[in-house]
Amino acid sequence: MKIYQTEEIRNIALIGAAKSGKTTLAENMLFEGKVINRKGSVDDKNTVSDYRPIETERQISVNTSLMYTLHDGKKINILDTPGFSDYSGEIVSAVNVADTAIFTVNGQSGVEATTENAWKHAEKAQIPVVFFINQLDHHNANFDETVKQLTDYFGEKVTIVQYPVKTGEGFDSVIDLMLMKMLRYKQGGGVPEVLDIPASEKDKAEKLHRSLVENAAEGEESLMEKYFETDSLEPDEISLGIRMGLISRGIFPVLCGAAKHGVGVSRLLDFIVNTCPAPNMMPEKKTTDGKVFKSNISEPAALMIFKLSNEQHLGEVAMIRVYGGEITEGQDLINSRTGNKERISQLMIVNGKNREKIEKVLAGDIAVTIKLKDGRNNDSLMDPKLGDNGFELIEYPAPIFSIAVKAVSSTDDEKLGSILQDIHRIDPTFHAGLSRELRQLIIQCQGEYHLNTIKWYLDNVYKLPTEFISPKIPYRETITKSARADYRHKKQSGGSGQFGEVHLMVQPYFEGYKDPTDFPVRGKEEHNLPWGGKLIFNNCIVGGSIDARFMPAILKGIMERLEEGPLTGSYARDIVVYVYDGKMHPVDSNEISFKLAGRNAFSMAFKNAGPKIMEPIYDVAVRMPEDMMGSVMTDLQGRRAVIMGMDSDHKYQVLKAKVPLAEMDRYSTSLSAITSGRGTFSMSFAEYSQVPGDVQTKLLKEYEEKLKEEE
């Protein structure tokens, strides 16, 4: 295949809600570019983009697919992204390496929740945006209402470049305001017939054309001067103005069509190659030490791995965006994360599952490579003379959904852990880890769609039966008053026995607490507990009733009980212990005896010291449309939330509350249902607070029943 120069390349990310027609549009773009000779369809499960088994089975995109098409001597790299918000990581990767985001908007549904979600990621990445209003061949499509929604949600920079003559069945013609012509398409697409604008559309077209020219002129100072002088611009000048406005995000053009029938696709390709920016026109890419790359082949070789995938017959495949120089097979680069050498063994360009070897890739292009030694998402591979400074990292969305997972067979536990780490390597928005405190393997992801995808891979690819359960809550146990207890551990089984007796007192720890006056503190140890809070351990022994060499054993026994609290097995914290008396045996006393005596004495004192269970409270911020505030607030109050306040955010409201973690199980799913997918939330740990009495009673009962089952 021809090696395309930087200025001959366009990199676009197809973004939009599920069912907005991204995959169909991509298929038609490839067909128009004669890269494929027959169009597939989502229904027939034979599109270039959705080729993976999970995608053909579910008929939705789950992973970003890399494709390319050719048009007017240019190569257009296409990143077709999933439409559900649960796969936001795929969108984030795409908008951080593409040079233009083409937002497909369903002409029937208008701006959807996932459109807004994707917009936030595009805005954060500061990538140019073009809207393509699709599916205008449906009888309930409404172009004007859709444009109104785009303007309401995304501002006055939304600018019409094309509009349909009429929508619904038989839709085949658009008025192009750059050309000031009517374009009529045959069913199936192709080059349109160029006609004069009908008299009935003249006034509307002139008005919208003037608005387009004004917005285009704002993109470039010299164009603004000419516009003031002549009151008009030539089509090439309009194109230049739009391009400059795209780069600065000063204009968001709107094109339209019906991708399923090829209507508007060839003109969209024209717009991409003639108006959207080439890689070397975009703002520079920075490294961590401030070096900038302008996608120029004269720069040192530099690339970023922005997505990994496991492909049948190939193994792990890395999608790369080249930011400087040229990349060739056999080239050695330095991985800035590890400092180690990586050799580029093979380079390929791909269209879905179809792959073609290529000898080199120039700055600005996107390709794939395989057989990297230790390449990961977000890794920069750089010319050795650049040192170990890589590009600024892509920031992926934090998980919002947590659940515990276990293998159906306990013998597969280790295998499951290894598989989950492999999945995280491919998908950086998925996390898994063993919680020592909860004694559960916890996975975190973006929602139930995302979880179901993980489950599909476990069942169908790894063939490992698993089950998901709600995570335990990391409660804390503490005390509210002082109490004393003593315990004698005595065991005789032939030969030397075991003997140890410990008398101790416990009281709550808080800033400014006072030691009792009825026995002296001879030694004090302050321990900051790994799970938060403190243990103050006091040696108050007088007269040698317990030898000093046994005090560490008593402390160890108490520490063990703190790790598995007496009430529910949760961590205990904020306790002061005074060991003030005890007994020894000259032969049978040893460390294990005093560890057990100390552990049991502490447990008895704890239960008599007004014990209470503390639960984690989180600061939760929920963002939702204003008209959904009441429903969201009612739901939160049903979750024992304390409403702290609210703020406005454009057309949205942000509700702030403190909510017990125990009440947030599957909240992302509930919020999505309440707000039709438009609500989002974030949460961060705030504090521990005492659980209500009825909740504590319930927790104690559950723990007692669990202990009985284990006996």
Q: In CATH, what number is assigned to the domain containing residue 618?
A: 3.30.70.240
- Where residue 538 sits, what CATH number does that domain have? 3.30.230.10
Q: pLDDT > 90: what percent of the chain? A: 85
Given 281, 310, 326, which residue is the final one in a domain?
281
Query: What 3-state DSSP class applies to 281?
Result: helix
- For residues 315 and 464, membership in a common domain is answered with no
| Share above pLDDT 70 across residues of the chain, in percent, rounded to a whole number | 99
**Domain presence at residue 396:** no
Q: Are strands 158-160 and 252-256 parallel, antiparallel or unpaired?
A: parallel
CB–CB of 621/641 below 8 Å?
Answer: no
The residue from 351, 386, 421 where one domain ends is 386
Tell whether 523 and 640 lie within a shared domain: no
22-47 mean pLDDT: 93
CATH number at residue 124: 3.40.50.300
The strands making up 431-435's β-sheet, listed across from edge to edge, are 431-435, 440-445, 401-407, 466-469
Same domain, 93 and 203: yes
What's the average model confidence in pLDDT over 668-682? Answer: 91
CB-CB contact of 88 with 397 (8 Å): yes
Taking only the tens place, the pLDDT of each residue in 296-355 is 999 999 999 999 998 877 889 999 999 999 999 999 999 999 999 999 999 999 998 899
- Give every CB contact of residue 648 below 8 A, 6+ residues apart in sequence: 654
Low-confidence winner among 42-46, 255-259, 411-415 (lowest mean pLDDT): 42-46
Q: 620 and 606 share a domain?
A: no
**Is it the case that residue 49 has pLDDT exceeding 80?**
yes
Q: Are strands 302-311 and 292-293 parallel, antiparallel or unpaired?
A: unpaired
pLDDT of residue 543: 87
- Cα–Cα dist 701/396, whole Å: 41
Please tell me the total count of domains within the chain: 5
Establish if 707 belongs to a structural domain: no
The reported pLDDT for the residue numbered 652 is 87
Nearest to 170 by CA among 134, 142, 139, 132: 139
Q: Do 83 and 226 lie in a common domain?
A: yes
pLDDT at 64: 94
- Residue 425's Cβ-count burial label (10 Å; 0-12, 13-18, 19+) is middle
Residues 539 and 594: their CA atoms lie apart, in Å, by 14
13/96 Cα distance (integer angstroms): 10
pLDDT of residue 650: 74
pLDDT at position 179: 95
Q: What is the pLDDT of residue 311?
A: 85
Q: Which of these, 94, 96, 101, lies nearest to 131 by C-alpha position?
A: 101
At 229 the pLDDT is 85
| Residue 116, CA distances (Å) to 111, 242, 680 in order | 7, 23, 11
Helix (H) or strand (E) holding 421: helix 413-426
pLDDT, tens digit, for every residue of 370-398?
A: 989 999 999 999 999 998 889 999 999 99
Regarding whether 276 and 136 lie in a shared domain, the answer is yes
Q: Indicate whether 552 and 631 sit together in one domain.
A: no
**pLDDT class for 455, splitting at 50, 70, 90?**
very high
- The CATH number for 333's domain is 2.40.30.10
Both tokens of 553, joined, read: 């054993």
Measured at the CA of 425, the angle between CA 420 and CA 429, to 5 degrees, comes to 85
Q: How far apart are CA 231 and CA 217, in angstroms?
A: 10
Structural domain harbouring 513: 477-610
End-to-end CA distance of the chain: 70
Residue 272 domain-assigned (yes or no): yes
User: Is 117:18 a contact under the CB 8 Å cutoff?
Assistant: no
Helix H or strand E encompassing 477:
strand 476-478
Domain-located, residue 702: no
Is 171 domain-assigned?
Answer: yes
For the sheet containing 158-160, what is the strand order? 65-71, 74-80, 9-16, 100-106, 129-134, 252-256, 158-160
Domain boundary among 562, 594, 610: 610
pLDDT at 456 over 80: yes
Question: Token digits for 513?
Answer: 């607490």
Q: What pLDDT score does 711 carry?
A: 64
Handedness of CA 288, 290, 296, 299 (dihedral sign): negative
pLDDT at position 707 is 83
466 pLDDT above the threshold of 70: yes
Examine residue 528 and state whether it is found in any structural domain, yes or no. yes
My answer on whether 289 and 277 are in the same domain is no
Domain co-membership, 305 together with 219 = no
Does residue 598 fall inside a structural domain?
yes
Looking at the structure, tell me whether residues 463 and 532 fall in a common domain: no
Residue-level pLDDT at 494: 66
**What does the DSSP assignment read for 104-171?**
EEETTT-S-HHHHHHHHHHHHHT--EEEEEE-TTSTT--HHHHHHHHHHHH-TTEEESEEESS-STT-
Round the average pLDDT of the chain to a whole number and report it. 94
With cut-offs at 50, 70 and 90, classify the pLDDT of residue 442.
very high
Question: Looking at this protein, which amino acid is placed at residue 2?
Answer: K
Lowest mean pLDDT among 1-15, 38-52, 585-599, 652-666: 38-52
Q: What pLDDT is attached to residue 527?
A: 97
Q: Please tell me whether residues 556 and 624 are part of one structural domain.
A: no
pLDDT bucket at 60, cuts 50 / 70 / 90: confident
709 belongs to a structural domain: no
Q: pTM (2 decimals)?
A: 0.88
* Residues 241-254: tens digit of each pLDDT: 999 999 999 999 99
Res. 667: pLDDT tops 70: yes
Q: State whether 623 and 674 are in the same domain.
A: yes
